């Protein structure tokens, strides 16, 4: 028991030191190569703990080797940007000048609801206020608001505009969201009437949302060709 405890402490200290030297603070900051390295490190670190017959040095040496390899690879990728593009995905523009790139959304399998969630987390209430949204190499989405949505704001100018709240998805990629309709005390008949007023069909709508002021915002599907 004492042997296992000592082994665990040694591996734990080496593992913490290794991850600290990698220079990343959280999983969301890791790129593909770094994530693979982290998973490999965690697998190797458990070997001497689970099997007392395996010397601790058999885990420590591979950990140090992986660390040196990761640092060396990082330096090489820093010096050779072309190689970095092979090891990691390039940043992907999801919204450009307020227009959603539906083809890119489908290619990387991100739903409009996920995109709206990222926009809200960036402190922007609506897609209408977004100029650019970019999927970065570490998997995070950077959101840049429209210039008109940046300071000076209405409060600075002494204005008191109504609060529109957030957008609630009613249609996503042609599929009606019955849950949100019910939650907002609406139904399909009401939605069909709103679509008919705008000469729209649900199957041809990429996204349709409604804010707290009952204002609709929609994006029509682009042709697959």
Answer yes or no: is pLDDT of 191 > 90: yes
Give yes or no for a contact between 108 and 92, defined as CB atoms under 8 angstroms apart.
Answer: yes
Equal CATH topology for 90-161 and 165-225? yes
The Cα–Cα gap between 52 and 161 comes to 68
Answer yes or no: is pLDDT of 105 > 80: yes
Spatial strand order of the sheet with 205-210 comes to 175-176, 168-172, 205-210, 216-220
**Domain 90-161: CATH superfamily, name plus number:** bsu07140 like domains (3.30.240.20)
pLDDT score of 185 = 93
**201, 200, 218: which is closest to 209 by C-alpha?**
218
Look at 68 and 159; give whichever has higher pLDDT. Answer: 68
Instruction: Give the domain ranges of the chain.
Output: 2-87, 90-161, 165-225
Output the CATH code of domain 165-225: 3.30.240.20
Pairing of strands 168-172, 175-176: antiparallel
- Coil, strand, or helix at residue 141? strand
Predicted TM-score (pTM) of the model is 0.54
Give the Cβ contact number of residue 161 at 10 Å: 9
For 28-40, the pLDDT digits (tens) are 556 666 667 777 7
- Coil, strand, or helix at residue 7? helix
Check residue 119 and report its DSSP letter. H
- pLDDT-derived band at 210 (thresholds 50, 70, 90) equals very high
């Amino acid at each position: 028991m004492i042997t296992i405890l000592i082994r665990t402490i040694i591996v734990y200290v080496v593992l913490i030191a290794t991850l600290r030297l990698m220079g990343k603070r959280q999983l969301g900051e890791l790129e593909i190569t770094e994530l693979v390295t982290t998973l490999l490190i965690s697998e190797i670190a458990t070997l001497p703990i689970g099997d007392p017959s395996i010397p601790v040095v058999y885990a420590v040496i591979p950990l140090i080797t992986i660390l040196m390899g990761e640092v060396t690879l990082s330096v090489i990728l820093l010096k050779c940007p072309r190689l970095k593009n092979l090891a990691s995905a390039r940043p992907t523009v999801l919204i450009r000048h307020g227009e959603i790139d539906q083809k890119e959304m489908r290619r990387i399998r991100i739903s409009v609801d996920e995109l709206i969630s990222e926009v809200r987390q960036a402190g922007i209430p609506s897609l209408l206020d977004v100029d650019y949204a970019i999927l970065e190499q570490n998997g995070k989405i950077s959101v840049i608001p429209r210039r008109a949505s940046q300071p000076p704001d209405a409060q600075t100018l002494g204005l008191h505009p109504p609060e529109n709240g957030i957008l609630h998805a009613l249609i996503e990629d042609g599929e009606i969201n019955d849950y949100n309709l019910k939650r907002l005390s609406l139904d399909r008949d009401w939605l069909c009437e709103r679509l008919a007023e705008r000469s729209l069909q649900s199957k041809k709508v990429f996204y349709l949302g409604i804010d707290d002021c009952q204002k609709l915002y929609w994006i029509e599907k682009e042709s697959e060709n």
